[in-house]
Structure 1
Amino acid sequence: MGIAIMTSGGDCAGMNPGIKRFVEYSIEKGLKPYLICDGLEGLIDNRIQPATHADVAGIITKGGSVLRSSRSARFFEPEYRQQAYDNLKAHGIDMLVVLGGDGSFRALDVFYREFGIAFCGIPATIDNDIFGTDYCLGVDTALNVIRQATDQIRDTASSSRRAFVIETMGRDCGYLALVSALTSGAEICLIPELPYDLDSLKKRFQAEIADGRTYMIAIVSEGVDFAPQLTRWLEEEVGMEARLTVLGHTQRGGSPTVLDRLRAFEFVTIAIDALVTGSNDGVVFYKNCQMATRSISEVVSGRSEISPVYLEEGRKLTR
């Protein structure tokens, strides 16, 4: 029985450990594993190859995806989905494991309903914004990239008596920014989920400066779209020289942390077991320290939310 794996959407650390586990566990289960390169585009263009242990040797330490990834407008056209299906049938592939996010899962759900190719999704996005799971692959590595950068910036901030604004990724979800702020001792945190009050912040900082504060760290989610403005505000309104650092795509890369390697191992194992036992359109989730699968309809019907405990603490950094 043929089973294939692909990475879709934005890349993240943890994908390569997942690919390695997929090949090794598929062979262990008596399945024939295949690798799909370049995501949905590769599915359409038949960039599909059988996999052996040699294909995944040594990739566990690497960030990103050795299979590469893509987003595909063509996949939303019926003729190209038919082409993708024909490619899979030619290889004898009946099951797919997909590392990606909501968009990838929705695309494969349509594919399953049209052609019956069973799939299991594994949440893999540094935004940590997939409904129903507390954790997505890549999050811990991204948080550690931010932590290291923030710790280093704090060193120079304290030495130069400056304020530093650090912009994190996260699109519409402030998880990376909020968790980074709470774990690095930032003085400001702005995220889409929480309103902020500049007047209140100004009064607080002026009082703290009068009491001896010489520097500060602000962490801002890109979804707020306010990092440059906040940098100017700190100089013009608070009176502290300020600098902006945009971490950008550094957060996607880097060798996966132990947690991301372990979660990849667990996610892929559950995904393959689910497919072998008859699950056709599920997504693996991690909730309250437990792992299982739920239907794609459940996953796409809700909206991911940050822990209320984190939000309550984060609110103190917005005013």
Structure 2
Amino acid sequence: MAIAILTSGGDCAGMNPAIKQFVDYCFSKNIQPYLIYDGLEGLIDGDIKKASYEDVAGMMHQGGTMIRSSRSKRFFEYEYRKIAYENLQKHGIDKLIILGGDGSFRALDQFYKDFGVNFVGIPSTIDNDIFGTEYCLGVDTALNIIREATDAVRDTSASFKRACVIETMGRDCGYLALVSAITCGAEVCIIPELEYDLDKIGKRLKEELKNGRKYIVCIVAEGCNSQVCTNTNGLVKWLEEDVGIETRATILGHVQRGGNPTVYDRLMASEFATYAIDKILDDEKCNHVIVYNKSEFQFVSIDYVNSQKYEIKKELLDLARRLIN
């Protein structure tokens, strides 16, 4: 029996710990693990190798994915999926674990329907925007990187009585910005999920500055970049011209995807990988995603994951409402 693992789409901290646990746990159950390099593209190109303990030694503390990732348009064409299937057959592989997002899961679901290759998807994205799970692998590390950067920028902003606008990643989801604003004590939080009134915010900030505030921290989600007035540059201009405070912008970018995985992401990676292997061994037919809700691991269908758009829970949104008025 042979099982392979691959990473697809955007990388995140926590992937390497999951890969290491996958290999170690497979060996403990006398199963030959395989590594697929370069994601779905590597599956098509046949970049598939037997894994050894040496391959995964020293991976727990490393961010990103040592087996690399990709985004593949070719995989959505049947002729290339057929090539990928033939590549798996050469190694006797009929089971896959994939670390990725909903697009990667859809790709393997079609693969399952075409050729019956069983798989389990592990939600892995710093955006934390996959419907059906409260937690995605990598988000905790990303939040801690944002926290560290925000704390550092706040220090220099306070030294010069400045405002700072910090842009986080997250695509169209404001989760990273929202949680970071709450936990870093930001004065302003701009995310796509909440309506805001710059006039009200500006009036509040001016009053606070009169009453002794020495700096302002504004955290904005990259998903707001389509809005001229409230993208990062627009907020800098607004703070300087309307609020009347010197302002600097910091776009964190891909630094949020790297870095040493936190203890929590390492632990969750290990649990995700272990339960995924158990599931794929127990079910004759398996095309599921493992999710985490209310401190419990569950398995759901791809159709369920794709049935709705992820929404940040109301309790978190309510915590941030005072930062938008």
TM-score (norm 2): 0.97
Task: Check conservation: 1:270, 1:292, Cα contact below 8 A.
Answer: no
Cα distance in 2 between the residues matched to 1:257 and 1:183:
17
What displacement does 1:213 show? Answer: 1.4
Tell me what 1:98 maps to.
Answer: 98
Q: In structure 1, what is the Cα distance between the partners aligned to 2:243 and 2:298?
A: 49
Equivalent position of 1:310 in the other structure = 316
- The answer as to 2:273 corresponding to 1:268 is yes
CA contact (8 A) 1:123 1:136 kept: yes
TM-fit CA distance, 1:196: 1.0
The alpha-carbon deviation at position 253 of structure 1 amounts to 0.2
**Cα RMSD (Å) of the superposition?**
0.7
Q: Give the share of equivalent positions with the same residue, in percent.
A: 60
Distance (Å, rounded) in 1 between the aligned partners of 2:201 and 2:101: 36
1:9-53 Cα offsets, whole Å, 9 max, x none, are 000000000000000111112211100000000000000000111
Q: What is the CA-CA distance between 1:87 and the residue it aligns to?
A: 0.2
Q: Counterparts of 1:276 and 1:174 in 2: how far apart (Å)?
A: 37
The alignment status of 1:251 with 2:240, answered yes or no, reads: no
Alpha-carbon offset, residue 276 of structure 1: 0.3
The residue type equivalent to 1:183 in the other structure is: T
Question: How many aligned residue pairs are there?
Answer: 319
Q: Distance in 2 between matches of 1:268 and 1:214?
A: 47
Q: Structure 1 residue 315: deviation in Å?
A: 1.5
SS in 2 for 1:59: coil
Letter in 2 for 1:299: V
Structure 2: tracts of 5 or more residues without a match: 226-230
Unaligned runs of 5+ in 1: none
Amino acid at match of 2:155: D
1:1-319 superposed matches below 5 A: 1-225=1-225, 226-278=231-283, 279-319=285-325
Q: Distance in 1 between matches of 2:323 and 2:147?
A: 17
TM-score by length of 1: 0.99
The one-letter code matched in structure 1 to 2:312 is I
Separation (CA, whole Å) in 2 of partners of 1:107 and 1:15: 19
Could you report, residue by residue, the CA deviation over 1:45-96 in whole angstroms, capped at 9, with x for unpaired residues? 0000001111101011100000000000110111100000000011000100
Deviation at residue 297 of structure 1 after TM alignment: 1.1
